[in-house]
Structure 1
Amino acid sequence: MVESESPDGPRPPATEPAPTSTANGRYLVTGGLGFLGGHLVRHLLALGGEVTVFDNDVTAARTARLRAAVPAAAGNRLRVVAGDIRRPEDIQQALADSPFRSVFHLAAYSVIERAAQDPAGAIATNALGTVNLLDALRRAPATLPDSVVIASTDKVYGEMEGARYTEQSALRGIGVYDAAKLAGDVMGQAFHQCFDVPTVVLRLCNVFGPDDPNRRYRLIPRALSFVFDPGGPVAPELYFESIGHWRDYIFVDDVVAALLLAAARPACRGEVFNIAGCVNLNTPEVLRRVVEVAAGHEEGHDPRRAEKIMENGFRVVVRGQTSGVTTISRQHLDGTKFGEITSFRPRVDFDQGLVRTVRAARAWHLDPTAQPVLAGTAR
């Protein structure tokens, strides 16, 4: 995923790690110990940046895993701050490292089912948390970053009308998670219009890749936790109500590239962009490909297990509807606007990304001594 270097920000991740001299500067990543945040932090460090991570779930294990995935020499350029985005005083601790070249706001209450069970917590994090961060930044104009990139979601659009969502599509996200993210999304735009905070809002689709810990709720890591169950392969579950769902998917390194481009390009500031996926698939097809790729990878390790993975396939199960959870049948983003400004397009196709994801998942579940996948080192 090689892009030309921007003069006012780090270039996106390349096939090989970029020399540390190609980028410098200080960056803040909220939610930096999460799935997407961890990948972004690793890339920024590999590019020579100094990174402050702000996260509410700072444990020794999570911090150690992040540090293990970057070269030892980069460790002194990483600072981890424990704090809650809902608490302005905690945000001030993270901002003590300012001025930042860019701020990447990824912290979120990101599980739809949990959001439905705790609407107040979801709104406080996804909406008011975004306001807390932006308000803290605008109150210190001398240290205002060049850009504040806010990770939003395609779910702000709600049920799709027509062939694709464009940035002009109506915002119909009515689920608790969807509405809370929509509020943060809109407030990001408001702070640019009202206070000249240089925000960029990216509406992301379903992100997948190595080291995604959400094995309880997210489709691909959940499926791989069944396939690579240490007790023997188990058929992944397809929820009956999801059979007709269509979703965009994008590999995590491509999302990192989009985040860096959005931060670096002045033309992006004050704008909202859809980040289109590499593919639009229905849920049964996703699980079919997961099973096939996992079985193919397992052939080189345990042919009998590989055979069992294919034999199991996946199974359809009926589950009770989770109270308060709304579902969207079809989602598909039009990424033309972002592509025209930045020349961005996803570089990793779904099957290539799935191979890398499967490799990392097998190591995680079946090889406890495995090291985390290093950012930008495998294609």
Structure 2
Amino acid sequence: MQRMDSGRTVLITGGCGFIGTHLATSLSGQGFRVVVADLAPWPDRLVESVRLDIADFPACTEVMRAVDPHVVFHLAASSTIDSAYHDPHGSLVTNVGGTINLLEAARLGASRLERFVFSSTDKVYGELTGDAYVESSPLEARGVYDVGKMSADTLVRLYGSEFELPTAILRLCNVFGPGDPNTGSRIVPRTLSRLFDPAGPQPPVIYEGSIAHGRDYAYVTDVVRALTTIAFDRRAVGETYNMAPAAHRTTLDLVEEMIDQSRRACEPHDRDRADAIRKNGYEVVHGHGMPRALERQHCDGGKISALGFRNVVSMSEGLRRTITSSMREFGIVPESDDDRCQTA
């Protein structure tokens, strides 16, 4: 990534999360002063860290005034469909109430603000009925997570148009890569946690009814590049962008691809595990007590491409990096292994 103009301060809410960690590390490496605001502590001293519950408006105001950022990346959220479904009130308080708290705190207390970047989702569009969502497609979200993010998305645009807050929105597709802790709900880390279970490979789980569901995917470092693109390009002020997907996959195709790549990655290091991964295949289970899922989602990424953004990590390469990272995590490949283990 090209080095940005340093000397400016960025505030990242949810900076200890999956995407936030990658974003904070990237911006810190480019010379920005990075302040992470999260309920969890930052693990090292490379960036500044402050504990913040975004549902606490006075705390949001205090942090915004103390940091006085040039750019806010608002990533903090109840970030999975499952967690939102099982705790709708908590999810909406965080995703809707937390967003209004940060917008108002930025309006009142961020005197140097150049951009308020909100991480939204393609789920705001609801079920896909045509070929692809464009940014002007109707917003027809239906689930708890989806409606919460749609409401927050609307509030960000309101503050941009009504109060001239310099906002920009990125509607993300499914993001994958090393370091995603959501092994219970997101398909890539869930699948890899089973394939590389230290006790022996387990068959990946596919929920009945979701086998043919179609989703867009993008690698996490490309998502970081997209976020920084709309944060620092003057043309992005007041605009909303779809994340350009690296690839589109059905659930079944993705799981089969991960099984095949994982098997081949294991063969030089653990032939028995590789053979077991091949023999186990996958398991289809009932999805009782689960939220309803959209059947088809696909974004047109032409608008962000007009800013010069392009994905640089293909789906296959992104999976290779993620798989190797998981193999390291579970001790199948040592940290000192060759350059096949690179994840960035």
Q: TM-score, normalised by structure 1?
A: 0.86
Offset, 1:33? 0.3
Preserved CA contact (<8 Å) 2:206 2:283: yes
Distance of 1:212 and 1:100 partners within structure 2 = 27
Where structure 1 has 5 or more consecutive residues not aligned to the other structure, the ranges are: 11-21, 68-74, 372-376
Correspondent of 2:241 among 273, 276, 279: 273
Instruction: Report how many residues are paired.
Output: 339
2:101 partner letter: N
2:114 paired with 1:146: yes
Say yes or no: does 1:113 pair with 2:82.
Answer: yes
Pick one of 143, 159, 169 that aligns with 1:175: 143
AA aligned to 2:11 is L
Contact kept in structure 2, 1:26 and 1:49, CA below 8 Å: yes
1:123, distance to aligned residue in structure 2 (A): 1.2
Q: 1:360 aligns with which of 321, 325, 330?
A: 325
After superposition, give the CA deviation of every residue in 1:147-182 in whole Å (9 maximum; x if it has no partner): 011000000000001100001111010111100000
The residue type paired with residue 269 of structure 2 is: H
Q: Deviations over 1:320-365 (max 9, x none)?
A: 142xx2210000000111111x111211100100010001111112
1:43 aligns with 2:26: yes
CA-atom RMSD, angstroms? 1.8
Aligned to 1:30: 13
Pairing 1:335–2:301 present: yes
Secondary structure, in 3 states, of the residue corresponding to 2:67?
coil
The amino acid across from 1:29 in the alignment is I
1:100 aligns with 2:69: yes
1:29/1:54 contact within 8 Å kept:
yes
Measured at CA, do residues 117 and 306 of structure 1 come closer, stay the same or move farther in structure 2, by a change above 3 Å? Answer: same
| 1:275-314 paired onto structure 2 within 5 Å | 275-314=243-282
Q: How does 1:159-174 map to 2 (within 5 A)?
A: 159-174=127-142
Contact preservation (8 Å) 2:178, 2:322: yes
Aligned residues: percent identity?
Answer: 37
Q: Which amino acid aligns with 2:327?
A: R
Distance 1:248 1:271 in 2: 21
Greater Cα offset, 301-310 or 220-229: 301-310
Mapped to 2, the partners of 1:174 and 1:265 lie a distance apart of 32
Q: For 1:331, what is the secondary structure of its paired residue?
A: coil
1:217 equivalent in alignment to 2:212: no
Q: Which structure 1 residue ranges, 4+ long, deviate > 4 Å from structure 2?
A: 367-371
Q: Which has the higher contact order (CA 8 A, sep 6+)?
A: 1
Match of 2:158 among 190, 206, 218: 190
Please state whether the residue corresponding to 2:309 is helix, strand or coil: coil
Matched, 1:250 2:218: yes
Q: Deviations over 1:218-237 (max 9, x none)?
A: 00000000000001111111
> In structure 1, what residue type is equivalent to 2:301?
G
In the alignment, the residues of structure 2 paired with residue 306 and residue 119 of structure 1 have an alpha-carbon distance, to the nearest angstrom, of 41
Alpha-carbon distance in 1 for matches of 2:310, 2:296: 22
Amino acid aligned to 1:221: P
Is the CA contact (8 Å cut-off) linking 1:138 and 1:144 kept in structure 2?
A: no
1:113 is aligned with what amino acid? D
Q: Does the CA contact (< 8 Å) of 2:36 and 2:47 recur in 1?
A: yes
Q: Does 1:135 align with 2:135?
A: no
- Which of 29, 32, 55 in structure 2 is aligned with 1:86? 55
Give yes or no for contact 1:24–1:47 (8 Å, CA) kept in 2: no
TM-score (norm 2): 0.94
Cα distance in 1 for residues equivalent to 2:266 and 2:62:
46
Q: Is the 8 A contact 1:108 1:126 kept in 2?
A: yes
1:117 offset after TM fit, Å? Answer: 2.0
Cα-to-partner distance string for 1:263-295 (whole Å, 9 max, x where unaligned): 001110111111121101100010011111111
**C-alpha separation in 2, matches of 1:80 and 1:206:** 27
- CA distance in 2 between counterparts of 1:156 and 1:139 reads 28
Is the CA contact (8 Å cut-off) linking 2:68 and 2:109 kept in structure 1? no
Q: For 1:312 and 1:330, locate their aligned partners in 2 and report how far apart those are by CA, in whole Å.
A: 28
**How far apart in 2 are the matches of 1:368 and 1:308?**
17
- What is the Cα deviation at residue 368 of structure 1? 11
